[in-house]
Structure 1
């Protein structure tokens, strides 16, 4: 029997029998739970339908409202309505209004001159008509919408109305035009009522009747146009015969519950509140949501008998029943599977494990005639193939291992040579830094943070002491690592040469001469466009005994703070060596006693960190300087490093970082020893 049916037939027969055993109780339990389940999901369906249609309505009407408010608030509109007899302003208004007409969805606009009562309406059929369609009168009941709106405190309203004089039914958007609190008139546009109802309310959802009402219950939109409360949006008080949703409910208790749901929806926009009521004699589930931007309420009336989805209080009973059914099904299937499938496969598994351990002579159960037997025979053939391929692969692995070991030895040797070269370059680069000269001349008055991203970097700082004073600064060359370090050597030589030409007392002249020599030395036309040769520089000159300092910068600012105040003197907007050059100028600033002055490369400001990986940023940097400005300079540097590392976290250092700060408690004096020669920077 087992051989004739095969493995697939035996498994299918076992599963079929288990399903038949579990199906009868499942049907009995499901029949009892289906009605309540249907009710639950019908409620959720109505709520989701309400939320979806609120969003569908909000987008186009909000757009029309925003456009109408821009139209009414336009300077051209207000100027013309303030002086309607000015022909030039009138002509300007109608030219601009044509642009607004093309943007309105209804391809039309209207404007009312409050002084004369003239009503202008232009659409695609009369795009540039400059004659009023009619004149509004407070004695005409059809014009009450205008005067009621102008007398109200609201700046706009959305009014569903049929303009009998124009013969148009629209969702009108009426916006007051005001100048210094004085009403000049009204302007706006309108959505075609039939199209609005077709787009948003007549979607033939099974069992659902959507409606739009205002905060008083007046029906603004309904699939049946006879239900609309025309002109209610512009009325401050509703007439007794105005169609309201409250009049469609069965009794006073239901009307009170609806009022409570409307109030709750207005208090919590975005939430949908549901209640059961009798609408026009039929039981319905009402879902109410509020659109605050339009001051409209969206109401969905759902016929529970026609709901396409369902829900109920027997949900957990149904879950338990289904679990029981599945348990019975799985128990029957597990028994049959164990007998017919898992037992033979387990024996095949033991043989396969022996083969995995290297015993390719292990016996496989190949005596069966079904799929298990075929699998065993195929597995035995595969085991022989694996044995042959394993032996070949082992020989290849041994050969490749020998090759990899030789290659790895060569890479280790090359790596050692590279590391030695970088270490040597780092020693050379550190040798050009004037740390010894700074300590000799400004001991206790300066501190430096120099942290290259790699072993070598593209940042360095300079110092020059003369008989007249001190020149100090920070230079940030393009690039980092080995390319950046090469740029620092070239930049150092160019700056030294510039100081020899113009002197140390004129930072701006040094920058301009450095820029000139940099362009002359590095011909950009012969370099690839991907190679940057620009430099950010900040230089400060401090005279002996003086109370002022001279600063010039190229894309680098000078910061000064006493802990309570922070002043920033920005440098020039372009770096040295950029495609477009500029002439840099000196800035004379007071050298205040006890204030800390700081120059910093952009590596500190651009360092990524924090929760979102953003840069450290100017605002955080300036707050840090001000917070630590009155601390000893070495303590400031330590605090800056700690704050930067804490912000950086696990992020890698992005760029080279150099920060130079100095402070004088009294006017600076010349050092007691001779100034170092000009070549010592």
Structure 2
């Protein structure tokens, strides 16, 4: 299909407009103002998210604290309500069993007059009890008297005889046997068809003997409705005796089950309601501790109930030996929505702050920078005649003034560019000539220093005279370096081998090697070679004295040194080291490392009287002895840029165990080059390896 020319033109203009709009949008967001806008939005969202997260964390702590206080207060209120309800009935029950008339009748039940008066008094107590019922059991006859709120059993108060063989009457015989004053018990009485909280008070005779049990009860359903089921949302009230048996719970089926279960071991306890075993143990310990005191008390702990975390407050009632346990869900008691107005105020305040700061920044900074940017475009197009007004003496005003000066300077340079270029070119050529001359002098000096340092090192011919097989790897980081090695002949076949690492690299390090070598020569000449540790001590004192006068406020120089002395006759060898060690390669490929002392030589931190240790070296056929500085260990490389380290160097030496030492230097140099893989050398590297299987017979000399 071919479009008409007009429609093609309109399509092309729409595409061009879309591209232009995209370019403007991209330019807008690539500008400082656009990026600042995005930054402000990002900061607002980020700070807002952090603020909300912090607020929620703080709110959780507040809710937790409020929930704990609420649980404790609710437990105390529940205890008060229970005591207010039960204590009145308990006092009445205790007054009933303390009645002289009833105690007399319990001792003489067959007396008709006493029976009439006693039943009348019991009926008066029935009117006073909240449940309007009573019971009275006489132990001698096992007769059980009862009447209820409807006065249903008037004239026939004797309901039945207590039969020990009847399991439903086990409560009575347990009370007579175990209770001294009173007991509260949730029980189901099938004979009467009543489930109550029974207050069982003991009737005592004049001689203290137990004559029977009397009391009343509270209707269980009403008790639960008033005390347990009236809890607020998110709150549960449990009632427990001192053994943990559940006596009250919002789930009435649990209480009914406990009331009809005679075996106490099968009754539900408060511990069965807690999911975590450790929390069950803590709850048991808290109840036991409160029960042991025998006084009113409180405890708080966290429990997991039905898989959810709850806060529990325990309030102990010593009067009835029960405990109220208030279990609170903090999130239900104090809802997070309560804090929503605070969160809204914080968000609005944060947004207002960011908007005000953005407006001020745009007015004071961004708008002025935009004006300066437009002026730079004019200068870039070649218009040097315009100048911006400096409206404020702040940093942007100073920048504007500097830009005006720069514009004027550029305009002046543009008109006089060729003359200035020629003058500057001539000046650069003269400076370059002087620089090349200075560089030649410096390189000549460094080359001369290299020759001097090379003259101080042991000669290959000296090694060849003393050792059948040996290797020297000496690689200064620069043209010259701070590492050196020396060899001193001792008698016909003895020698002293030294490897040192001085402070610094390049020319400073080379100067230190010269001073250290001179002092080492003097110490060997004065002390002899048989005591390497004493040589180190002499060298330490001498180098400290030499460097003390030249040390500045921050300068501290010295060296690490290893000495290996082979006594004439090759019967024994002695090693001493200042930070540097000795490695011994056995014929079977194992490596033994002797560590040097932890002192360096010549540094301020090394005492002038620092002592060094001689370490005997056992000589065996096939051994190889390695002295080296830490430069080879610290060289980094490999895939991850790690240092060579002791383990990798030991592996390289074991790989070269069966090749002559004469080839070891080249092998190690190649391994190091491969490992560095183009990375710069970090430190001066020196390694000297010798075999002591046979020593030539040189004259005593120093190299």
TM-score by length of 2: 0.45
Q: Which has the higher contact order (CA 8 A, sep 6+)?
A: 1
TM-score by length of 1: 0.46
